[in-house]
Amino acid sequence: MRVSVAEAPFDVGREVAEFSAGCSGMGAIVSFTGIVRDLPEAPLEAMEIEHYPGMTESALEDMARRAIERFSLGDALIIHRHGRLAPGETIMMVATAAPHRKDAFDAAEFLMDFLKSRAPFWKREITAGGADWVAAKDEDEDALARW
Amino acid sequence: MDVLYFAWVRERIGLPREKVQTEAATVTDLVEELIAREPRYAAAFADLSALRVAVDQQLADFDAPLAGVREVAFFPPMTGG
């Protein structure tokens, strides 16, 4: 299990390759990558991500441990960036390894649902019109109910 | 104890963290003490349903006890992922 919270960019391909290489006996590797999306209504200049150093790492480690236990994973990886990101940049990724694909997919969904509303990150969108904190969505909170 | 603020809570209060001397028994008691200090705290804590709290870096409820606690953080609902 590995959790990384850092400002620096990371190479998704290399992370997936290294994660996969360390997972012998696992038939399924799933990875999800989150990208800074441009806004349809106003061009996004940047996305700023604030976090809670210390709590962030322990919250992500706790999520990864729960996913490993619940879905009998061989391994799990969470990488999440903070700081100022441009549209198109990679924000975060999760990867999960399991003997079979259903557990690997479900565990990735589980991690994403918890990352959305239980990991102490706050996003702010910077446009020509100013800076706005991204509001949490009810549907993200509702998504936790299925777990 | 250390009291930390994040995102728009930090902006409204105007600082990221401060030391607070308090005998508050619960998070709610601490919030009431802070609100009584200055209008900027009242502005930040106007709607507690829009806030979340962590006690010693664990998500908690506003009725959580503060005995022995070193760090309390206030912030809006999280938007990770």
Q: Where are the domains of chain A?
A: 2-134
Nearest residue to A29 (alpha-carbon basis) of A59, A81, A73, A86: A73
Instruction: Give mean pLDDT, residues A15-42.
Output: 92
Could you report the per-residue pLDDT of A30-76, keeping only the tens digit for each?
999 999 998 777 789 999 999 999 999 999 999 999 999 999 999 99
Across the interface, of A54, A117, A124, the residue whose CB is closest to B78 is A117
Nearest residue to B36 (alpha-carbon basis) of B26, B28, B74, B64: B28
Could you report the per-residue pLDDT of A114-139, keeping only the tens digit for each?
999 999 999 999 999 999 999 999 89
Domain boundaries, position B38: 2-75
User: Are B77 and A136 within 8 A, CB to CB?
Assistant: yes
User: Are A121 and B73 within 8 A, CB to CB?
Assistant: no
- Residue B7: inside a domain: yes
Q: What are the chain A neighbours of B58 within 8 Å (beta carbons)? A: 55
pLDDT at A106: 98
Fold of domain A2-134: Aldehyde Oxidoreductase; domain 3 (3.90.1170)
**Number of folded domains in chain B?**
1
Nearest residue to B14 (alpha-carbon basis) of B22, B5, B23: B5
Task: Tell whether the model's pLDDT for residue A13 goes beyond 80.
Answer: yes
User: Are B57 and A54 within 8 A, CB to CB?
Assistant: yes
| A135 and B CB contact within 8 Å | yes
User: Where residue B7 sits, what CATH number does that domain have?
Assistant: 3.10.20.30
- Residue B22: inside a domain: yes
Interatomic CA distance for residues A138 and B11, integer angstroms: 24
Could you report the per-residue pLDDT of A67-105, keeping only the tens digit for each?
999 999 999 999 999 999 999 999 999 999 999 999 999
